[in-house]
Amino acid sequence: MTAPSYPLPFGVFSVGAGRPRVGVAVGDHVLDLAAALDDPVFDNTTLNPFLARGPREWLAARAALQALLNSTDSEIVARRERHRIPIADVRMHLPIDVADFVDFFSSLEHASNAGRILRPGEEPLKPNWRHLPVGYHGRAGTVVVSGTPIRRPWGQSKAPDSGAVHYTPSSKLDIEVELGFIVGAGSPLGATVGVDEFKQHVFGAVLLLDWSARDIQAWEYVPLGPFLGKSFATTISPWVIPLDALTGAEVTPVPQDPPPQPHLTGTAPFSYDIGLELRLNGHLISAPGFASMYWTPAQQLAHMTSNGASLRTGDLYGTGTISSWDKAGYGSFMELTWNGQQPIRLPGGDERGYLEDGDVVTVSATALAPDGGRVDFGQVSGHILPARSTDTDPGFAPSLPAEQESA
């Protein structure tokens, strides 16, 4: 009989008024790693110092933990019992100090839908899309941990059929269901990281909610891409799933036509079969599958460094909205409601085009574990607070009237 293999998601937790520190989730407990492994690298408020040690040390720590958890030696059993805390008693924190944040656009279904919605009458995919993983640099400082309230942003927008430009709270607040990959080991400036070197640099994956104000985005994104329609907040799940726990979920990627250029081609390409579920106020809305993604996480990493840009510990990149095959797998309300024109009906009769104040969005995911069980990503969630107003926030001056005619 082989010993059980634990997925061992890494996170940063605190108890009461105690200082945050690193732990792994084991069932319904958190194991306090600095104490259990007697290693001060885990007595930190982020995972970064541990991640910076690199892949050999990541695997060594996992091996030590598997041994600790499978041991029947009474002293070791006592040690692990002493340093475990019920998960219900801990508070989870942002697991990493985010260095740079990049977000991609790598689902063929999502990119095609977004093109049809934002540029009706045109070819949905731009000519570059099948040649490189399109992406943009986001805002690292506004990445927050699951559970952080999301305030509806203000911003400029213009209806397509009107010349008037408004500065108002967004009326098209949306989410994008994504995975995020976390770079542990950096790379020097001027070097490139190949597709095959993915596991030498990336530590693990999280769930990622890319909050998106579609009305702000539609007006601002030409010609330099997403900016304030995205940068107000991005939420990630507190538990980082190490790539080593996802080997059972590796699958052959979808075929790419035309074949990618040599620097975006690996010798043994793989993606991940990860099943996600999107819920609004507790109701299941869709179930995107990550295996449908056109560009793989390894190709995204290789592309990001293909000009010699360096990687740093704590870099986070989002895969882009995961929309698979049909409406049952769409990963944004823009697609699910076709830009609000076909609202979805919730049990109880409520309808939604885009998100309303008070709404709670939750995404969960699982994948096949190497031992045949399931790896649980836990969940990422956020609830919508009303936009700032001069009534509730006297310091906020939106310079109304917020309207001007453009020439």
Q: Which residues bind Mn ion (CB under 5 A)?
A: 103, 176, 210
- The alpha carbon of residue 366 and the mean position of all alpha carbons in its chain are separated, in whole angstroms, by 14
Please report how close the Cβ of residue 321 comes to Mn ion at its closest, in angstroms: 5
Report which residue's Cβ sits closest to Mn ion: 210
Please report how close the Cβ of residue 241 comes to Mn ion at its closest, in angstroms: 20
Please report how close the Cβ of residue 271 comes to Mn ion at its closest, in angstroms: 18
Nearer to Mn ion, 48 or 323 (CB): 323
Q: How far is CA 3 from CA 7, 33, 62, 135, in A?
A: 13, 21, 14, 42
Q: Is 142 helix (H, G, I), strand (E, B) or coil?
A: helix
Nearer to Mn ion, 210 or 244 (CB): 210
Q: CB-based contacts of 395: which residues, under 8 Å, 6+ apart? A: none
Please report how close the Cβ of residue 275 comes to Mn ion at its closest, in angstroms: 19
Please report how close the Cβ of residue 213 comes to Mn ion at its closest, in angstroms: 12
Residues in the chain: 407
Nearer to Mn ion, 176 or 215 (CB): 176
Catalytic annotation, residues: 110
Q: How far is CA 25 from CA 112, 240, 383, in A?
A: 38, 10, 25
Nearer to Mn ion, 100 or 103 (CB): 103
Burial bucket for residue 287 (CB in 10 Å: 0-12, 13-18, 19+): middle
Nearer to Mn ion, 186 or 226 (CB): 226
* Residue whose C-alpha is closest to residue 23's, from 51, 44, 53, 4: 44
* Residue whose C-alpha is closest to residue 264's, from 137, 135, 131: 131
DSSP per-residue letters across 298-356: HHHHHHHTTTS--B-TT-EEE------SSGGG--BHHHHTTTTTSPEEPTTS-EESS--
